[in-house]
Structure 1
Amino acid sequence: MAALRFLLLAALAILWTGAARAADRVALVIGNSDYQAVTTLENPRNDALDLSVALEGLGFEVILGRDLTREGMQQSTRDFADAAKDAQVALFFYAGHGFQVGGQNYLVPTDARIARPEDATLQTFAMTEILAALKDSPALKLVFLDACRDNPFGATLQRDGEAGEGLARIGTEADFLFAYATQPGNVAFDGTGRNSFFSAALLHHLYTPGQPISDMMIAVRRDVMTATGGQQIPWENSSLTRQFAFDTGPPDMSQETLFYQVATGAQDDALMRLYVDLYPEGAHVGEAQSWLQTGTSTRSIERGDDAEQARRLWTLAQRSRVRPLLQFYLDRYPEGADAAQARQLLDLLPDLQDSTPAALCERLATHPRDAVAGTSGVPFERLQQNAVAAIQACSAAVTQSPNLPHYVALLARATAASGDLGRAVALYETAADRGDLRAMVSLAQLKESGNGMAVDIPGAMALYEKAAEAGSLDAMNNLAVTLFEGKDLPKDQPRALALLQRASDEGSAQATYNLGYMRLNEVIGTPPEALDFFLRAAKGGDTRGYRAAAIMLDKGGMIDRNPAEAANALLRATAEDDGTVLADLSANTGGWSSDTITQVQLKLAAAGLYTSDVDGRTGPGFTAALTGWRNGGFDAEVLGE
C-alpha cells in the first residue's frame, strides 16, 4: 500500500507539473513575515496571499509560499523554473526582508541567522537564483520586489562596508521588468493596514482592463507616492520588447462610473448610498443623490435573468476590493459563476469597522486631489462635518506611524476643518519640513492667500518649487501656471512646458489635457498632435478630453474627419463626465454634424437602447437612449475599441 501511495503521489506531482508547464501564465509568490532571528513583519504574509488570489483570478497558475525557510525558497524556485519553461508570462513576487551587499540583492528566509558578513550568502536567498531559474524561459518575465525595508541585520552587515540601504538596481536582459517598492538604494515603509503601500496599489490596479503594464506602474507609483506623501516612490527597470496587460479585456469605464451604473442597474438604495459615500465628488453624485431622494424602492431581481448585471457587479467588486460589494454579490448570486472566488476574496478583506486608525484617517481626511484607487478623497465641506472624528483618527495614526509625516498633514487638514487654523498651520509646517508633498502644497496655498498667516509669495513659490522637484503633480501644475503668467515669478514658458510635460509623463491628466490645448492653439507643437493628448487625458481621468477629441474628429480640418471615432469619444464622455455632454448632444448645442449624430445613433441602437429612426437628428428618443447609456447601458464592445 505504501508503494501504491508513493506512485499515486508521484503521478499527481507529474500531472501538477505538466499543468504548470502548460499554463500560459505562471507565478511564484512569496511573503515572509514570521522571522526567527530578526524583526517580524506584519504585511508580507497578507501581501503574498492577496496577490496570489488576484493573480489566479487573472489566469495565473500560482505557486504560493509564505514564511519560507531557505530550503523552502529554493524548492519553490525549482518548481517555478519548471513551470516557466513553456510559459508566455512568468511573474515573481517577494515581500519580506531584503538587503544588498556589494551590489547584489539578497532575500531573507525566515530561518536566516547572520552573525558575520560572510553569512549573508550562506543564510539568505540571492536574487541571482531567481534570474537563473528564468534564464532559459521564453516568457515575458515580471519581477516585483516589495523587499526594500531597512537591512534587518544592522551593524553585523554594515561592518562589511559594502552593505547598502534597500535593494540594488538589477541589470536585465531582454523581456524583463523589475519593479521595486521604492527606488533602488532607498527603503520602503510597512503598510498601516493589511497590506504594504506597494502591494495595496498593485492589488487595486491589476484588474484595470486593457491597461498596459507601463501605464499600470505609473498608476501604482502615483498611489504609493500619494499614500506616503511622497516619502516612497516605486521604481521599475524594464527591457520588455512587447506589450502586456494583466487584464486583457477591452478598455472599460472608470471604476467610479462602473459603480454608478451597477448601482443604477441594481436599483438598490444601499449600493447607491455606498457610491455617494465612496465618491463624494464623483461625476454622478448629483444624479445618485437625486435618485435616493425620490424614495425609489429596491427592485427584486429574479436569479438567472440578469447575467450581465451579475457579471458587471462581479467585475466591479473584483476591481474595487470593496467588501460591501462582494457581500452584495453573494447575497444576490449565492450560486453565481464567481461565488467561490467572491467568498475567497471576502475572507481576505477586513470589515470597515475593523479599520486601523491610519485607514480611518485616510478615509475621513484625504484631500480630493490625493484620491487613489482605494480612497477617493473628501471635500472640505464634508470633512468639516466629521472634523472631530477625523482629528481623533489622525492623531492616533500619527502615533501609530511616527515615520510617516503624511498623517501629520492629514491631521492638519482635519484641524483646519475644525476651525483651528493656527494649529493647522503649525502642523502643516511640521509635515512640510519632514517632506510631505500635500503639506507643502497646502502651506504654499495658505501663504499665497494669506489665510491664517501673512501673505508670503516668495515663501509659497519656494514651497511649490520644492514639492514639484519631489514629485507633486499639483505643485508642477501650479508652478507651470505661475511661470506662464509671469506674475509671481518671472515669465518662463520653456520651463513651464517642461513642468507640464513631466507632470503628464508622471500621471497628471490635467497636465496632459493642457498640453493638448496648447497644441490645438499652436502655443507649442501642431494642432494634429492635440488629439492624442486629449484622448490620453480622458483615459487618465480628465473627461474634458473626450469632448475636445470629439470636436476635432467631427469638424476635421486639422485632422481627417472621423464621425465614428467622434461618436465613440462622445459616448464615453456621456457615460463618464458630469452630464455636460449628454445635455450638449440632446440639444446639439455643440453643433455636431449629422454624420456624427448618426454614428452615435447607430451605436446606441447596437446597444439595444435606440429604436427611433437613424436620421442624424436629436429628439426625445435620442435623449432617452443617451440617458440609458449613461445610467447602465454602456457597452465597450459597441465602441469596437
Structure 2
Amino acid sequence: MGMAIRLVAIWALCMLAGVASAATDRVALVLGLGAYQTIEPLDNTRNDARAIAGALKGIGFDVTLSLDATSSQLRQLMDDFAFRSETADLALIYFAGHGVEVQGENFLIPVDADINSNLDVQRQSISLKQLLTTVERARKMRIVILDSCRNNPLGDVIDLAKISPEATLTTNQTTRGGGGLAAAKPDRGTLVAFAAKDGQVALDGTGGNSPYARALIDKMVKPGLEISLMFRQVRDMVLQETNNLQEPHTYGSLTGIPFYLAGAADGQVDISGNIGQAAWAAIRPDQEEQMIALANLGDTRSMLGLAYMRLNPSEGRFDPTEAVAFLEKAAGAGSAEAQFELAKVYERGTGVPPDPARALDLYQTAAAQNYADAINDLGFLHYQGGLGLAPDPQKALELFERAADLRHPQAQFNFAALIDDGLIESKGPADAAHYLYEALRSGSSDVLDLLTSRPQMFSRQTRRALQGQLKDYDFYAGALDGEFGPGTKKAIRLAYGLKE
C-alpha cells in the first residue's frame, strides 16, 4: 500500500476522534515516611498519608499506600506504578516525608538513608525528576504533590546558607524543610504541588495532620471544584491557618481540559470529555469569575478555558472575538496549546479574517515547543501542501516520527503504517510494532478498534512483531504467527487497559 493511500485513511482517523480510554481511570501512589532510622523522625507524615489515601479512595482513585518505605522499596513501588500509570487517565503521587535541595535539584529521603554528604543524598534518595518520570506516561494528567519541605534533618551536611529571611519561621511549630525545595519545572500536562513555595519551609502541624494535608483533604473531595481552583483554595486555606507563614505553590501547566478531582457536579463535564469547548462550557459562573481573576494574574490555563467557553457555538457565552483575545494573550505568554488553538482559528477564520501565514507561524511556534498536536498537523501540511507550503513528503516523515516519539497516538499509528509500507529505510517490522504498541498504551480507542477489527491492514511480519511485544509484557502467551485470533485480540485489549 502506498504512502498516499495509507495516510489518507489515517488522516480520516485523526479527524474523527481524539485520545480517549474506555473509562476514566485514576491511580494514586501515596507515600508517608516518618520512622527515619538515622535522621530525625517526623510525627505526622504517616497520618497525612493515611488520610490522603482515604480521601483519594473516597473519590474513586485506585490507591497504593506505602508507609516508611526503604530506598529499594520506593524504587520498586515507582517501577510498578509507572507501568500502571500508562493506561490511566490521571496518575497522582503524594509524598510526605523529608525532602531537601542539593545543587538545585530536589531529593526525597527514604527511611533507611544514611547520609553524611551531598553525594549520599544524591545516591540514596529519590529525585523529583524520578517521580515525574514515574507518572509521565499517564494519558491525560499527571500530578505530584510534595508535602516534604519539612525540617532539615541533616545539619551541616546540606548548606542552608541561602535561606531567605522571609522563609524563617517565628513559631514553635516543627517545620518540614530547613531550606525548602527548589522550584520545579515539569513538562506540559504535569502539575507539581509543593506544600510551601520554593525556598520556604512547611509546618508539620501541631495536630494529627499538617496544615497542607488538612487543606488538601478538605478541598479535594468537593465535587465540581476545578483542579486549578482547588489548589488555589488549598493555598488560601493554608495561608490563613498558618498566619501567612506557609504558602503552597504549584508549578507546571495542565492541559486545557477542565478536571474535577472529586468528579464533576451535576451538569458538568468530567475529564472523560475530550473536547475543550464542551467541557469548559459547564464551568459554573462563580468559578468562571475566579478564572477571570487568575487570567488577569497571568494564568494561561485560565485564559485557555475562558477562550474555549467562548468558542462553543452552542453555548450562551459564544464570542469568537473575545476568545481570540484570550488565546492571543495566552499564546503571547508562551502557551503552546494556545498557539496551536490560535493557529486553527486563523486557518479557519473563526472570529478573525483567515490568515494562512499567521496560522503557519503559530503552528511552527507551538511545534518548536514540542507540542505534539502541532507537529503532527504540520506533518500533514507538509505532506499534502497547505498554508503556503509546497508538498514535501520527506519533511512530513520527519515530523510524523517526531510527533510519534512524543507519544502522539495518531502519529504513532501513522508512523507505524509508513514503516510497514517500507517508506522508512532504517526501520522494520519490530519498529512498526513498537509504535503500534505505544499507541495502544497511549489510549487511542481508534487504534484499538483498527487492530482488533482490521489487523490485515498491516503486514504479517508487523503483526507477528506486535504479538512478540505483547508477549514480552505478559499480555499474550500464544504463537507468533501473525494471526489475530481471540487470544491476540484479548491481549490487545489488555495492553490498552481494558479489564476482561
TM-score, with length taken from structure 1: 0.40
Between Structure 1 and Structure 2, the one with more helix by share is 1
Question: Larger radius of gyration, structure 1 or 2?
Answer: 1
**Structure with the larger RCO, 1 or 2 (CA within 8 Å, 6+ apart):** 2
